[in-house]
Amino acid sequence: MQKSKVFGSTLIIAGTTIGAGMLALPLASAGIGFVPSILVMLFLWALMSFTALLMLEIHQYADSTATLHSLAKQILGTKGKYIASIAMLFLFYSLCAAYIAGGGTQFGDRLHQWFNLDISAHASTVIFTIIVALIVTIGTGTVDNVNRLLFLIKIVTMAIVLTFLAPNVSEPYLLSLPLHQGLVVAAIPVIFTSFGFHGSIPAIVNYLDGNTRSLKKAIIFGSSIPLAVYIIWQVVTLGVISQSQLLENSGLSALVSSLTQVVHHTNLGQAVGIFADLALLTSFLGVSLGLFEYLGDVLKSKKGSSNRTVSALITFLPPLVFALYYPKGFIVALGYAAIALAVLAIFLPVAMVHKLRKSAQNPMPYQVRGGTIALSVAAISGFGVVFAQLLITFGVLPALG
């Protein structure tokens, strides 16, 4: 049973990570070339895996049901709690709104394509949100089971896409150099956000009953699967479309169109579309699960219980409303997602581990290697991500992806 849960948790982490943002990676990497993009990717994967393991170290000092909200309050006090709350809500609500807006549209298109049903965009968005909300509200075990099936289909679909593209990879395209160094910095936030799964860690800790060994396996393998998938994806996209063509035709639809033209196969567009649907849905499940568990912890009564229906309404209703009536506002807000993610996935774990290691009289059995030097490198890297996003925000660097 525990092995099954570890496997399911690994897929939840991988499914949360391999989201719709993956499709922006070739566009973000177009100006810097394949090799530099892989080097940046490897560094950011190592950074995010390291801070995820820091979260595991932190959870040893609390109950297995603790979320980032309660951890920050317990370790960093009231200020830490408020910082965690603001960053968590900003990031998760923005992501959920984007997933609802995009997923609702795609859901409506699939209903028309497969069942010849014509419903309004608002109706398809509401139905899509209700389905996901029911899965998440029932519990992590249900998310696990649904995610396993979706993840399997997603991998099969991606394998089909890769089969079409692989024979067309051109070595000269993969050897393209950065057009200018500023583009390397501009690509960092997009690639960084593509490795974000930390919000789902508390739910995984609770699901695995705080078993450190099982959690370590789930985190390491769960984050390594996306890395391998991303590298292969970069090979078959940057290797079949020239750098100039990618830069001229930005946007997902243009990317799919260019890939279809290269292989001269119309079914490729459908395969990429299905893959995009599943990438969005699995990522939405992981993100909304993390937000649901977080809000459940915040709203927990003095008796230690929480109302799952209320938690579900607060989790899904605000992003649904904004996705229905103000979709562009949340699309713009997603530009700042890297900053909120840096706070949640880097600064808070580093600060909490640093304080625990200094104050704990009896250190817990598991401690991430690297000591103070590794914590310092992680913190500096986090400031680098924030700085890169600010340069993009103020127009110094172009927005990519």
- State the number of CA atoms in the 13 A half-sphere of 20 facing the CB: 22
Q: Which residue has the tokens 């609390």?
A: 62
Where b means 16+ CB within 10 Å and e means fewer, 60-85 reads bbbeebbbbbbbbbbbbeeebbebbb
Reference 291, options 78, 143, 127; nearest CA is 143
What pLDDT shows up at residue 132? 93
Would residue 168 count as lying in a domain? yes
Q: Count how many residues are written for the chain.
A: 401
| CATH at residue 203 | 1.20.1740.10
- Select from 166, 219, 230 the least CA-distant residue to 22: 230
Residue with tokens 């309004």: 120
Q: Determine the Cα angle at 22 with ends 200 and 388, to 5°.
A: 85
> Among positive and negative, which fits the CA dihedral 285, 291, 295, 296?
positive
Q: How far is CA 143 from CA 4, 138, 195, in A?
A: 14, 8, 20
How distant is the alpha carbon of residue 291 from its chain centre?
Answer: 13
Identify the pLDDT of residue 223: 93
Which of helix, strand or coil describes residue 376?
Answer: helix
Per the domain annotation, does 388 fall within a domain? yes
CA dist 234 and 181 (Å) reads: 19
- The whole domain housing 182 covers 2-393
Q: Which residues contact 283 (CB under 8 A, 6 or more apart)?
A: 15, 16, 17, 18, 19, 20, 21, 95, 99
Q: Is residue 218 part of a domain?
A: yes
What torsion, rounded to 10 degrees, do the Cα atoms 235, 236, 242, 243 define?
Answer: -40
CA separation for the pair 205, 196 (Å, rounded): 17
> Do the domain assignments include residue 247?
yes
What residue spans of 194-307 are helical by DSSP H? Answer: 201-207, 212-238, 243-248, 252-263, 267-298
| Residue 320: exposure state from Cβ atoms within 10 A (0-12, 13-18, ≥19) | buried
Say which DSSP state 300 is in: -
**Which of 99, 125, 192 lies closest to 401, judged by CA?**
192
Give pLDDT, residue 321. 92
In a domain, 401, yes or no: no
Any idea what DSSP says for residue 102?
H
Cα separation of 333 and 389, whole Å?
A: 12
Backbone angles phi, psi at 110, to 5 degrees: -70, -35
> Residue 370 CA to chain centroid, in angstroms?
25
pLDDT digit string (tens) for the chain, length 401 residues: 666 889 888 988 888 787 766 777 887 888 888 899 999 999 999 999 999 999 999 988 888 778 787 888 889 998 888 998 888 888 888 888 888 887 887 788 788 878 888 888 889 899 999 999 999 999 888 888 888 888 888 888 888 888 888 888 888 888 877 666 677 888 898 889 889 888 888 889 888 888 889 999 999 999 999 999 899 888 988 888 877 777 776 555 567 667 777 766 667 777 777 887 888 888 888 889 888 887 887 777 555 556 788 889 999 999 999 888 876 655 556 667 889 999 999 999 999 999 998 887 667 788 899 999 999 999 999 999 999 989 988 888 876 65
Rounded distance between C-alpha atoms, residue 43 and residue 29, angstroms: 15
Identify whether the C-beta of residue 147 lies closer than 8 Å to the C-beta of residue 11: yes
- How far, in Å, CA of 132 to CA of 150, rounded? 13
Provide the pLDDT for residue 49.
95
- Under DSSP, the state recorded for 177 is P
Provide the pLDDT for residue 228: 93
The CA dihedral of 29, 31, 34, 35, to the nearest 10 degrees, is -110
Answer whether residue 398 is part of any domain.
no
Distance, CA of 343 to CA of 87 (rounded, Å): 7
CA–CA distance, 241 with 259 (Å, rounded to integer)? 7
Looking at residue 1, its pLDDT comes to 61
Residue 399 covered by a domain: no
User: Is 241 among the domain residues?
Assistant: yes
How many Å apart are CA 202 and CA 72, to the nearest integer? 12
Task: Classify residue 22 by its DSSP letter.
Answer: G
Whole-angstrom distance, CA of residue 129 vs CA of residue 101: 9
Give the chain's domain count. Answer: 1
